[in-house]
Amino acid sequence: MRLTEWLLGAVLRLAPRWFTDRYGDEFLDTHRARADQAARSGPVAAARLSVRELAGGLWAIARLRAGVPQEFRFALRVLWRKPGYAASCIAVLALGIGANTAIFSAVNAFFFRPLPFADAQRLVMLYETNPEFGWTGGLAAPANVLDWREQVGAFADVAMYTEFLNRVTYVRDGEPALFGAASVSGNFFSVLGARAALGRTFTWEETWQGRDAVVVLSHDLWATYFGADPAIVGRTLQIGIQNLEVVGVMAPGFTFPNDETQLWQPLGWAQENRREVWFRRAHWVRPIARLAPGVTRQEADARLQAVVGRLQVDYPQTNRVMGAGMMPLRSFLIREVRKPLLILLGAVGLLLLLACANVANLSLVRAAERSQEMAVRQALGAGPVRVARLVLTESLVMAVLGGVVGLGLGWTGVRAAAELTSLGITGATSLALDARVVGFSLVVAVASGILFGLVPALRPAGAGLHGTLSEGGRGGSPGAASHRTAGTLVAIEVALALLLAVGAGLMLRSFWLTRQVDPGFRRDGVLAVQFTVPSSRYQERDNVLAFYDRLAETLEARQEIERAGVIGQLPLTGTSWSSVFQARGWPPERVGHEILHRRADRGYFEALDIPLVRGRLFDPSDRPDGPFVVLINETFARDHFPGEDPVGQRIAYDRAATDSSTWYEIIGIVGDQHQVSPSLPPRAEVFENRNQDWRRTNWVVIRTRAEPASELPLVRSLLRELDPLIPIAQARTLQDVWRDSMAREQFVLTLLSVFGGVALLLAAVGVYGVAAQAARQRTREIGIRVALGAAGSDVIRLMLRRSLGMVGLGLGTGLAAALVGSRVLSTVLYGVAPHDPVTLAATVTLLAAAAGLACYLPAWRATRMDPVRTLRES
Amino acid sequence: MITPLTYQILLTLASADAHGYGIIKEIEEQTGASSAPTTGALYLALQRMENEGLIEESLRRPGPEDDQRRRYYRLTRRGRATAREESARLAALVAVARRKNLLPARVDA
C-alpha cells in the first residue's frame, strides 16, 4: 500500500533529526519489503500490516520523544493490540472525512482560493438586465459600457471581452493549426492587473485600431508551439488573413476568460461605431470593472444606476427598459456551481455525522467489553476524569489517523474527478491541497473524534463502580442505559441514511426523467465537425458557399455516409443570439420577444430526422440574394401565431419594422429541438438559410452508416482533399453532445448515489452490530427459553421487537427530516417534486428491508445455537 | 535484563549478519508472523542496541545475492556476551519451569 508508506514517511518527520538521518531510508526500505510480502498474502494481511505499521511508527516516535503523555502511548497500544477494531474505526472515519475533503477541495477552489488577479476583491462584473425579456445578469451592449466607463466615475477602469473564443488559423510549413483567440478591450489586462511576462499588453487605443495590428500570446502557446523563443516579441505572424505583431507573452497560467485561450486580440472597433444604433442594441460583451480607490460596491452601484437612468431617457429606442447591475467577480465565476456544491457539502456533512455515530457505536461495544478494566482502574485510584481522558485520547488518535487517511483518499478522489469531468474549474479557479484543505480535514477529524469519543467517555463515569464490578466476571454486560445509548445512535444512523438516500433517490429519478426527454433530434449515428473556412483564401460569399456545397457533395458521394448538413450551432449546446421581431401586418405596438436564431440547410434537418410539420424545407430555388426565407420551430408557431397559419407570413427582426427592413418569409415549421438542455423546454427559434445568412464557421453534421466516431478519419481525409489547409476545430458525436448536456447533473447524481449507498451500508452495519450484541448478551436467556420449548419464531419475534423499534424510530425521524430537507433540491430537480411519494416510499422500503435483515440475522442465528452448549458456557 | 525483542535480535544476529528486513523475516520464522515487531519497534530497538554497544554496522556482505545498498548489523563482543548471559538465565528459568511440571521433560534423541 503506497499510502501507508507515504504516511509512515510523514510520521518519520516527527522523529528526532539524528534518528531519521541514520535510520530513515532504511526504515522505509524495510517497511516496503514487508508491505510487498503482505500484499502477496492478500488484501486483509496488507491492511492489517498497514494499521500495525502506522501504530508502531507512531509508538516508536512517541518513545523517542520522551515526555509524550501517557494517554497517547496507551491509545497507540490499543491500536496495536486490537488492529481489527482500530482498522474498522479508521476506515469508517476515513470514508466520512475523505468525502468531506474531496467536496471541500472543490468548494475551496471556487469559494476561497485567491483569484489570480491583483487585488481581485476590487473587481466587479457588470451586467445588463431587461425585465421585459427576463434578462438577468446578461451581456452588455458596447456603447452602454463605454458610457458607463466615462460617466459613472466610481470605477478605476472598465474593460470588456467576448465570452466565446474565435478559432483562428495559423499555417506553418504547410501544416494548419487552430488557436483559441479571445477578443478583449485594450485595457483588459490592466484592469485585471495582469502583466506580460515578455513584452507588453495592449493599450486602450488598441481597442479601436489594434485588431489588425497586434496580438498577445499565452505562455502555454508560446512555450509549446513557438518553442519558448524569447525573440518572438516584435515578430509578425500571419494569423487568419491578418499580419499581427506579437507585442507580448503572458505569465504562465493566465488564460482568462477561458481555459482554452491561447492568444488575445483587441476587439477592434471603429470610433464611428459609437454613433450607430446596433452598437447599443446588440448585447454581446462582458464588462469587468475595477472599483476606484475608496469606493464601495454600494456607492459604485448607486452611481451606475444614475447613469443607467440617464441612458434610458437619452436612448429610448434601445434603452427604454435596460437596467444594469454588478456583482463581485467571484460570485460571477461560481454562479453555476454554487448550488450543486453546497448540496454536496451538505450531503457529505450528513455522511460524516453518520460515520461518527457508527464509530461511536463500535467504541460503545468496546467500552462494554472494557467496563471491567475501567472499573478496576477507577477502583485503583484513577479518577473518572482520568479514565474519560484515556478513552477520549484513544478516539482522537483514531480520528486523526482516519483524518490523515481520509485526506489522502479525498484528495486523490477529487483530482481524479477533476480530470474525468469538467467541474467548471476555469483558468481563474484551481484545485490545490493548501493549508485550508488540510486544516479543514484535521478540524473535521478532531471534531468527529470528540463527537464519537464523548459517548463512551461519559459512559464509565456514569456507570456505578460497584454495579459494574459486581456484575460478575462475564466481561461485563452493559445495562439498560448503555443499550438505550446504542439504540439512540442506531436510530440516528438510520435517520441520516434515509435523508441521504432520499436525496440520491430524487436525483436519480430526476435524471432518469431527463434522459427520457426526447431532445427533438436523432442522436445515433451522427458525427458533427466544426471548422472555419479561412477568409484569406475564401474572400467572397460565393467562394464560401461553393466550398460548403462541394463538401456536402463529396461527403454524400461516399457510401459510408447517408446525409450531411450544415448548422451554425449544435442543439443542446446553448444559444447564440436572440432578437425581437414583427410580422407584416401587425400593429406597431405588437412585438415578439426573445426569438433564437440559427442558420441551417436542408441537410441538417434530414440528417437529424427533425420532422417537417408544415410547409417545405430550404431548397436550391432559395437563392443567396433572396427572396429571404426562414423556418420556425413549433414553439415559435404556438407562442407567436396562436390560431393562425404562420407559413407564408413575413417577419423582420425589428421592434418597429418598416418597408426598408429585411423581410423573411416563413416557408415551413419544423419540430422543436432542445437548445440548452433536455431539462429546459425548447424556446421559440427561427432558422435562417445558411446560403442567405452565411458565415465562415459552421458545424457540419454527418449521418453515418457505421459507428460515427469511426468515420472521423474519413471525414478528415475528404476535407483535406478539398482543402489541405482547413483544420477541424472540434469533432463530437451527437450522442456525446447529448450526454455532455447532462454532465453536471450526472456528476452530482453520481456523488449523491455513492454517498447514499455508503450511508445505507454504514447504517445497516450499525444496526447489525447493535442487534448482534443484544443477541450475544441474551444467549443465556434464549438458551433457557429454547430448552423450555419456545419455538424459534417466538424467540426471533422477541428479539426483533426491540431492534425494530429503534429502526422504526430512525425511519420516522428520517422521513420527517427528508420532507423538510429535500426542499433544498427543488431547483436542481426536473419533473419530480422534492416530496415525491414514490421516491420516499421506495427509499423507506429499501432502508427498512436492509435494517430489517440486519436485525433478523443475529436473532435467527441465536435460535440456531445449541441450548445445552450455551447454558453450559455461561 | 533485556527485552524479549532485544533478545530475539541478538539471537538472529548470533548466526549471521542481517539487515532490518532479514531480522524481521527470521523472527517471523522462529515465532510466527503475528509476533514479528512493527518496523517502528524494530528500529527503536536497533537504535538503542547500537547506543548500548550490543550491535554495530557490518561492512561485509554475506553473499553476492544480497542487496549491497542495505545496512547490515552484526553482534559486538559485548552483544555476544549479553546473548550468552541471557540464554543462561533463561535456561535456568526453563529448568525451574520443567521441575514444576510447566513444561514436558526433555526428550533427547
Q: Which helix (H) or strand (E) holds A52?
A: helix A43-64
Write phi, then psi, for A866 (nearest 5 degrees): -70, 115
Q: Do A29 and B47 touch (CB under 8 A)?
A: no
Quick one: cell of A782?
434464549
C-alpha distances in Å from residue A464, one per residue of A95, A375, A417, A483, A773: 36, 9, 52, 15, 21
pTM of this prediction?
0.73
Q: How far apart are CA B87 and CA B95, in angstroms?
A: 12
Q: What is the number of structural domains in chain B?
A: 1
* Closest-CA distance of chain B to residue A30, Å: 5
Q: Do A60 and B41 touch (CB under 8 A)?
A: yes
Neighbours of A226 (CB within 10 A): 17
Chains A–B, number of C-beta pairs less than 8 Å apart: 59
pLDDT over 70 at B66, yes or no: no
Q: How far apart are CA A736 and CA A604, in angstroms?
A: 18
Any CB–CB contact under 8 A between B3 and chain A? no
Q: Does some domain include residue B108?
A: no
Q: How far apart are CA A264 and CA A258, in angstroms?
A: 11
Q: Using an 8 Å Cβ cutoff, are B21 and A33 in contact?
A: yes
Which residues, in sequence order, are CB contacts of A701 under 8 Å at separation 6+? A526, A527, A528, A564, A565, A566, A567, A570, A603, A604, A607, A608, A734
**For residues A523-552, average pLDDT:** 91
Cis ω before B62 (30° cut-off from 0): no
Q: Does some domain include residue B88?
A: yes
Q: Which helix (H) or strand (E) holds A480?
A: helix A480-516
Q: Does some domain include residue B104?
A: no
Q: Smallest Cβ distance to B24: which of A34, A58, A59?
A: A34
Q: Does some domain include residue B23?
A: yes
Query: What sign does the CA torsion over A744, A748, A750, A751 have?
Result: positive
Q: Select the more confidently predicted residue: A603 or A382.
A: A603
Q: Tell me the domain boundaries of chain A.
A: 1-67, 69-119+336-478, 120-333, 498-516+743-873, 534-725
- Among A28, A29, A77, pick the best mutation site for testing chain B contact (most B Cβ within 10 A): A29
Q: Does some domain include residue B54?
A: yes
Q: Do B37 and A56 touch (CB under 8 A)?
A: yes
Q: Tell the burial category of B90 from Cβ atoms under 10 Å away from its Cβ (0-12, 13-18, 19+).
A: exposed
**For residues A692-711, average pLDDT:** 93
Q: Do A55 and B38 touch (CB under 8 A)?
A: yes
pLDDT over 60 at A874, yes or no: no
The reported pLDDT for the residue numbered A114 is 83
Q: Smallest Cβ distance to A56: which of B19, B40, B70?
A: B40
Nearest alpha carbon to residue A373 among A348, A360, A390 = A390
- A2-49 per-position pLDDT tens digit: 778 888 887 787 788 888 888 888 898 899 888 888 888 888 888 888
**For residues A448-463, average pLDDT:** 70
Q: Smallest Cβ distance to B21: which of A30, A55, A64?
A: A30
CA gyration radius, chain B: 16
pLDDT over 60 at A422, yes or no: no
pLDDT over 50 at A476, yes or no: no
The reported pLDDT for the residue numbered A477 is 47
C-alpha distances in Å from residue A484, one per residue of A193, A487, A489: 62, 5, 9
Any CB–CB contact under 8 A between B76 and chain A? no
Write phi, then psi, for A289 (nearest 5 degrees): -125, 150
- Confidence tier at A521 by pLDDT (50, 70, 90): very high
Q: From A65, which residue of chain B is nearest by alpha-carbon distance?
A: B44
Q: Smallest Cβ distance to B47: which of A8, A19, A80?
A: A19
Q: How far apart are CA A181 and CA A162, in angstroms?
A: 10
Q: Select the more confidently predicted residue: B35 or A853.
A: A853
- Confidence tier at B109 by pLDDT (50, 70, 90): very low
Amino acid at A664: Y
Q: Using an 8 Å Cβ cutoff, are A673 and A610 in contact?
A: yes
- Confidence tier at B62 by pLDDT (50, 70, 90): low
- A111-168 per-position pLDDT tens digit: 888 888 888 899 999 999 988 877 887 889 999 999 999 999 999 999 999 988 888 8
Nearest alpha carbon to residue A123 among A379, A327, A274 = A327
Q: How far apart are CA A184 and CA A287, in angstroms?
A: 10
Q: How far apart are CA A355 and CA A53, in angstroms?
A: 24
Which residues, in sequence order, are CB contacts of B80 under 8 Å at separation 6+? B14
SS3 content of chain A, % helix, strand, coil (to 5): 55, 15, 30
Q: Using an 8 Å Cβ cutoff, are A244 and A215 in contact?
A: yes
Q: How would you label B43-57 residue by residue, b for 16+ Cβ within 10 Å and e otherwise?
A: bbbbbbbbeeebbee
Residues of B in contact with A34 (CB under 8 A): 21, 24, 39
Q: Tell the burial category of A811 from Cβ atoms under 10 Å away from its Cβ (0-12, 13-18, 19+).
A: buried
Q: How far apart are CA A657 and CA A645, in angstroms?
A: 21
Q: With pLDDT > 70 as the criterion, what percentage of chain A qualifies?
A: 93
Amino acid at A846: L
B32: CATH: 1.10.10.10
Q: Tell the burial category of A197 from Cβ atoms under 10 Å away from its Cβ (0-12, 13-18, 19+).
A: middle
The reported pLDDT for the residue numbered A823 is 87
Neighbours of A680 (CB within 10 A): 13
Neighbours of A788 (CB within 10 A): 8
**For residues A281-298, average pLDDT:** 93
pLDDT over 70 at A424, yes or no: no
pLDDT over 80 at B24, yes or no: yes
The reported pLDDT for the residue numbered B106 is 63
**What residue numbers bound the domain in which B82 lies?**
4-99
Q: From A61, which residue of chain B is nearest by alpha-carbon distance?
A: B40
Quick one: cell of A715?
471525414
pLDDT over 50 at A475, yes or no: no
Average pLDDT, chain A: 86
Any CB–CB contact under 8 A between B21 and chain A? yes
Q: Do A57 and B39 touch (CB under 8 A)?
A: yes
The reported pLDDT for the residue numbered A336 is 80
* Closest-CA distance of chain B to residue A44, Å: 13
Any CB–CB contact under 8 A between B104 and chain A? no
Q: How far apart are CA A178 and CA A731, in angstroms?
A: 13
Neighbours of A676 (CB within 10 A): 16
Quick one: cell of A700?
457540419
Q: Do B19 and A8 touch (CB under 8 A)?
A: no
**For residues B20-44, average pLDDT:** 87
Q: With pLDDT > 90 as the criterion, what percentage of chain A qualifies?
A: 43
Which residues, in sequence order, are CB contacts of A469 under 8 Å at separation 6+? A372, A375, A376, A379
Neighbours of A864 (CB within 10 A): 8
Angle at A369 between CA A363 and CA A372, to 5 degrees: 125
Annotate A393-424 with DSSP letters as a single string. Answer: HHHHHHHHHHHHHHHHHHHHHHHHHHHHS---
Nearest alpha carbon to residue A6 among A369, A313, A286, A405 = A405
- A105-126 per-position pLDDT tens digit: 888 888 888 888 888 899 999 9
Q: Does some domain include residue B105?
A: no
**For residues A747-760, average pLDDT:** 88
Q: How far apart are CA A357 and CA A363, in angstroms?
A: 10
> In terms of DSSP H, where are the helices of A261-337?
278-281, 297-314, 316-319, 329-333
Looking at the DSSP assignment, which residues form a beta bridge with residue A596?
A578, A685
- Among A22, A58, A68, A73, pick the best mutation site for testing chain B contact (most B Cβ within 10 A): A22
Write phi, then psi, for A614 (nearest 5 degrees): -150, 160
Any CB–CB contact under 8 A between A56 and chain B? yes
- Confidence tier at A465 by pLDDT (50, 70, 90): low
Q: Which helix (H) or strand (E) holds A249?
A: strand A242-250
C-alpha distances in Å from residue A360, one per residue of A455, A459, A460, A814, A821: 7, 12, 14, 19, 25
The reported pLDDT for the residue numbered A86 is 84
